[in-house]
A and B are shown apart, each in its own frame.
Chain A
Amino acid sequence: MTGIRPLTAPERVRRPRAGFSGLPPWLFLVAALGALFILLPLAAVVVRVDWSRFPELVTSESSIAALKLSLTTSAAATALCIVAGTPMALVLARSAFPGQQVLRALVLLPLVLPPVVGGIALLYTFGRQGLLGGTLRALGVEIAFSTTAVVLAQTFVALPFLVLSLEGALRSAGGRYEAVAATLGASPTTVLRRVTIPLVLPGLLSGAVLSFARALGEFGATLTFAGSLQGVTRTLPLEIYLQRETDPDAAVALSLVLVAVAVLVVGLAHRSSPPAFR
């Protein structure tokens, strides 16, 4: 790839992106191995798909129900992430208070927590015997093992993605535009609505897309907190896991559907994050 004399080789000068990379050639080999490690299993799924039965497998009643449930709950979870995560990202990025670092670490905990543990935590918060169980029952609300539980489990694991990505966008945008807007007479709410949010909209969108993707793939917390009830809590990942026992071909076909959705989502996230405004 890059030669020893990348700057003097004339053919490199003509290519617009071919500056001096400074990377040793062997690094490209290791990087290629890493990429292969990710791409090969995806190719394995594609190879394993039984194409003659594919349409029939992905349109079965249980598959359609699972896909529908996955899409609606993930969309609801993404909306919740935006509503709850945007203020959190703003507070973390733009204010200073004692314990802020600790709070940030705790908010990001679901990123590293095993989802099963998250599910148990949610169960002991919103479940019948949970922390808020009595209060919720008094209000006539039953959350555990319902579609609401699916949405909560997905929100729990996906929220850090939105907070992280939006906080990054807020930090790189800086607070200078907001300062100018304030001296122009705009109240804090006006500044937020007319300056801050429009400026970080690309970051907000890519955070939302990532949250959606994470919610779509949620398995452990959902199973623990919401169970696996067809049409109610059995999302696509749960359906795949279940089918794997009885009909491996169906599991593979549905996996491909999720791979396709994931590729779409990653593509969208890349498109919606252009270079930051200067």
Chain B
Amino acid sequence: MGFALQAAVRARRFDVALSMGDGETLAVLGPNGAGKSTLLALAAGLLRADAGSAELDGRSLFGPRSFLPPHRRGVCLLPQEPLLFPHLSVLDNVAFAPRSAGESRAASRASARGWLAEVEASELADKRPGQLSGGQAQRVAVARALAARPSLLLLDEPLASIDAAAAPGLRRMLRRVLAGRNAVIVTHDLLDALILADTVTVLEEGKVAEAGSTQSVVERPRSSFAAGLAGLNFVPGTSVPSGLVDAAGRRLEAVSETPLPAGVPAAAVFSPRAVSVFPAAPAGSPRNVLRVSVTDLEPHGEFVTVRAGHLSAEISTSAAAELDLGPGSEVWFTVKATAVTLYPL
């Protein structure tokens, strides 16, 4: 039971295999162009794979010689924009799927009212889609999708086009309706993954960069993309006694969670808050010292994130002012060995 897909689309350099258990929600993360939309289109039947197969609750969605058309899959796509049918009222939008399944007008409208109540949008029933705010329209789109009673729900960045004020309420509602349902949710937001999903798959350049439980991906990211989402510095390299050496030959002292043999691929991970910034090389420091060139400064509240390539440090605004930092400044990042976690990749 559950959902499993393994598919390749050569023109998009897409080759992904993933699976999820019954009632699980999977979050798919990844940079733009990583293949997230391709994955959804394959599952929904809007795109044909060059090779591969997919199964949902024991039924084959597609295989080497078979292809179930979208309307027979029980897979419902919730696109980024709500795309409510503009010529139908909100109620008739939600009643669309039951009506298409052959229910009478009255019965389909009755069940539509139920689903509108489920997403806390009963009062919108008689409105036209053009009269709704972005958040309201997305709620109605969720109700319309649920009304199809899909075996698998695909959500393409459901909160991306919603203004910040409406997002928390919508996220709560999604958490409630997705519980115990098979769903794939594409998102850019780690918070969505944490709140809505059981497992996470990170796609990069059409391949699975990492997969695992949401918590393990957040705590021990195995890809620089996931580390970036989790707000962590991520240095891949090769293990040496008590640390690693990265591709540029820099050595980082680190604490390994488990004893690690030398010479295996490993990652050193540390929080930007653990990093101190110095204008000159600190003498006789027991810390890791990295000479970097500042690329960017991002102020937020009392703190400033100092970016230097793919590394970052978070320091107080006053410290940043004292250091007179700007893009191009040559500085030293230091971090205690005990603040760096090392694990094999």
Contacts and interface: CB of A to CB of B under 8 A. Distances in A.
A209 B259 CA distance: 80
B100 A183 contact: no
Query: Interface of chain A, helix or strand or loop or mixed?
Result: helix
Nearest to B99: A194
Nearest to B97: A184
Contacts of A185: 71-72, 74, 76, 97, 100-101, 148
B87 interface: yes
A249 B72 CA distance: 67
B112 to A, nearest CB: 12
B46 A179 contact: yes
B79 interface: yes
A71 B99 CA distance: 40
B295 to A, nearest CB: 38
A176 B70 CA distance: 13
Interface string B204-218: 000000000000000
Interface residues on B, range: 20 to 34
Given A183-B44, A187-B100, A177 B83 contact: yes
B144 A277 contact: no
Interface in A254-278: 277-278
Contact of B76 (A177, A184, A191, A199): A184
A179 B100 contact: no
A62 B214 CA distance: 84
Contacts of A79: none
B75 A181 contact: no
B244 interface: no
Contacts of A195: 85
A149 to B, nearest CB: 39
B73 interface: yes
A185 B72 CA distance: 6
B58 interface: no
B7 to A, nearest CB: 17
Contacts of B100: 181, 184-187, 190, 194
Contacts of A191: 71
B97 to A, nearest CB: 4
Contact of A182 (B69, B99, B101): B69
Which one of B71, B101, B154 has the greatest number of beta carbons of chain A within 10 Å? B71
A183 B83 contact: no
A134 interface: no
A188 interface: yes
Nearest to B82: A180
Interface string A60-82: 00000000000000000000000
Interface residues of A, number: 21
A179 B86 contact: no
Contacts of A201: 87
Contacts of A179: 44, 46, 70, 77, 79
B136 to A, nearest CB: 16
B277 interface: no
Interface string A164-199: 000000000000110111111111101100110011
B25 to A, nearest CB: 18
Given A176-B83, A198-B87, A199-B87, A183 B75 contact: yes
A27 B102 CA distance: 59
B332 interface: no
B330 to A, nearest CB: 46
Nearest to A179: B46
B342 interface: no
B71 A187 contact: yes
Interface string B77-97: 101000101110000000011
Contacts of B79: 176, 179-180
Contacts of B45: 182-183
Which one of B70, B76, B99, B148 has the greatest number of beta carbons of chain A within 10 Å? B70
B148 A184 contact: yes
B203 interface: no
Interface string A184-225: 111110110011001101000000000000000000000000
Which one of B46, B69, B74 has the greatest number of beta carbons of chain A within 10 Å? B46
B142 to A, nearest CB: 12
A221 B275 CA distance: 84
Interface in B41-82: 44-46, 69-77, 79
A252 to B, nearest CB: 45
B86 A277 contact: yes
23 contacts: A179-B70, A179-B79, A180-B77, A181-B96, A182-B69, A182-B70, A183-B45, A183-B70, A183-B73, A183-B75, A183-B148, A183-B150, A185-B148, A186-B97, A186-B100, A188-B69, A191-B71, A194-B100, A198-B85, A198-B87, A277-B86, A277-B87, A278-B86
Task: Give the 3 A-B CB pairs with smallest separation, nearest first.
Answer: A186-B100, A182-B70, A183-B77
